């Protein structure tokens, strides 16, 4: 390679570095800052009745701890429907006992059937069909509401035009790297989907804290278009039906839910692989928005390492890198305050670099697994 070729390569690297930095600047300064300035709706006079739906498969211990907190919400009119998805532990006995204490608790049971594809989508469909009220509020058996006014704060967004309310589902802080990684990733994804939603392009929610109209579910034929996937009951469904005009965001701490992260790396890895399997089914616009952010971040780090290793405009390269790091650190710190998170700032630079490559590996693994499945 002659000197001219080297110059072309270096110029291309500089162009990639600067352009990827500018793209990242747009995402971090214009999109991820949205929740920092967002003012949730004030309380309306009307209180809509709500059906809270919890799907449970062998979740006796979690239900024992968390279900009473849902059943004792400070809200005038609501029901709680627990869908017992073929549990073989003491879930059914626990529900029978709790029904004697709480008249607004209802339950339904799904029997194991080899001829029916089981999973959360079936359980949710059964629960939504059983709901008496138009607004359904979804959470999981391992989720704990932030307080007794969880339903109250989520329903403040049930306006005339609203059909979807996106809430925040956090994770409890525990010792261990898996817990740290899960909490940071959940926090960053929240910055992303809240910010993009507030920018007018809602694309996902989390099933740990999500509300929508029952009629919207049936008008969309439920999960029919992606029932073949294990995941997608929250993100793919919302990706299909959410629009700027019908989607609300709720980020007051009283509206949060909190649950436990996976304990082992293996469990976290397979959980994340399952979640990422829904990506190819997103709308093209969503894939473009998310793909541009991910690609620009990866190119930014690659170009930085390459340019720095050759000492090309090292001062400027370092200056741009430090500028981005300072910007992201400020937004992460302020975002942590808004989403009531702690101890994520210090590891954020390393995780910001590492997570895209881990996700790329998982996407590739899913692609290979799909190809093998088709071959068989």
Which whole number is the average pLDDT over 149-157? 95
Above 60 in pLDDT, residue 294? yes
Model confidence pTM above 0.85: yes
CB-based burial label for 237 (10 Å; 0-12, 13-18, 19+): buried
What residues are paired with 169 via a beta bridge?
257
SS3 376: coil
What is the phi-psi region of residue 46: left when phi exceeds 0, alpha when psi lies from -120 to 50, beta otherwise?
beta
The CATH homologous superfamily to which domain 39-281 belongs is Spore Coat Polysaccharide Biosynthesis Protein SpsA; Chain A (3.90.550.10)
Above 80 in pLDDT, residue 333? yes
More confident residue, 11 or 165: 165
Domain boundaries defined on the chain: 3-35+285-375, 39-281
Here the tokens at position 112 are: 């194991």
Q: What is d(CA 337, CA 332) in angstroms, rounded to the nearest whole number?
A: 9
Indicate the pLDDT class of residue 373, thresholds 50, 70 and 90.
Answer: very low
Q: What is the pLDDT of residue 83?
A: 97
Q: What is d(CA 164, CA 241) in angstroms, rounded to the nearest whole number?
A: 9
Packing angle, helices 314-338 and 3-26, rounded to 10: 20
Kind and range of the H or E run holding 363:
helix 348-375
User: Do 50 and 135 contact (CB within 8 A), yes or no?
Assistant: yes
Indicate the pLDDT class of residue 169, thresholds 50, 70 and 90.
Answer: very high
User: Do 302 and 321 contact (CB within 8 A), yes or no?
Assistant: no
pLDDT tens per residue across span 257-292: 999 998 898 888 888 888 888 888 999 999 999 999
Above 90 in pLDDT, residue 17? yes
CB atoms within 10 A of CB 336: 17
Positive or negative: CA dihedral 91, 94, 100, 104? negative
pLDDT tens per residue across span 113-145: 754 656 899 999 999 999 999 999 999 999 999
Here the tokens at position 293 are: 């952010």
CB atoms within 10 A of CB 6: 11
Above 90 in pLDDT, residue 228? no
Which whole number is the average pLDDT over 181-197? 97
pLDDT tens per residue across span 32-88: 999 999 988 776 667 899 999 999 999 999 999 999 999 999 999 999 999 999 999
Q: What is d(CA 163, CA 205) in angstroms, rounded to the nearest whole number?
A: 13
Q: Using a pLDDT cut of 70, give the percent of the chain over it.
A: 93
Above 60 in pLDDT, residue 374? no
């Amino acid at each position: 390679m002659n000197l001219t070729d080297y110059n072309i390569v270096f110029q291309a690297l500089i162009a990639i570095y600067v352009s990827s930095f500018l793209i990242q600047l747009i995402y971090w300064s214009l999109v991820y800052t949205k929740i920092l300035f967002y003012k949730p709706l004030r309380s309306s006079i009307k209180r809509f009745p709500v059906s809270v739906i919890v799907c449970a498969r062998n979740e006796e211990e979690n239900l024992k701890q968390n279900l009473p907190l849902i059943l004792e919400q400070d809200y005038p009119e609501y029901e709680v429907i627990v869908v017992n998805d073929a549990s073989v532990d003491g879930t059914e006995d626990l529900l029978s006992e709790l029904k004697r204490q709480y008249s607004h608790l209802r339950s339904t049971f799904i029997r194991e059937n080899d001829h029916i594809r089981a999973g959360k989508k079936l359980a949710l469909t059964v629960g939504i069909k059983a709901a008496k009220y138009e607004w359904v509020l979804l959470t999981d058996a391992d989720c704990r509401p932030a307080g007794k006014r969880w339903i109250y704060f989520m329903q403040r967004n049930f306006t005339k035009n609203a059909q979807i309310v996106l809430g925040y589902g956090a994770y409890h802080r525990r010792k261990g790297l898996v817990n740290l990684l899960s909490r940071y990733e959940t926090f960053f994804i929240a910055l992303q989907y809240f910010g993009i939603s507030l920018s007018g392009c809602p694309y996902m929610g989390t099933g740990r804290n999500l509300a929508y109209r029952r009629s919207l579910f049936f008008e969309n034929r439920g999960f029919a278009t992606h029932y073949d996937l294990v995941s997608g009951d929250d993100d793919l469904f919302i990706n299909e039906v959410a629009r700027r005009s019908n989607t609300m965001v709720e980020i007051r701490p009283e509206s949060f839910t909190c649950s436990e992260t996976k304990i082992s790396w293996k469990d976290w890895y397979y959980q994340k692989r399952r979640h990422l399997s829904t990506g190819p089914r997103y709308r093209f616009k969503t894939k473009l928005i998310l793909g541009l952010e991910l690609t620009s971040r990866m190119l930014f780090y690659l170009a930085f390492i390459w340019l720095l290793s050759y000492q090309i405009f090292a001062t400027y390269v370092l200056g741009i890198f430090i500028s981005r790091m300072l910007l992201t650190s400020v937004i992460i710190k302020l975002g942590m305050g808004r989403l009531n998170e702690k101890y994520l700032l210090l590891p954020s630079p390393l995780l910001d670099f590492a997570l895209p490559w881990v996700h790329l590996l998982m996407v590739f693994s899913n692609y290979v697994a799909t190809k093998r499945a088709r071959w068989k």
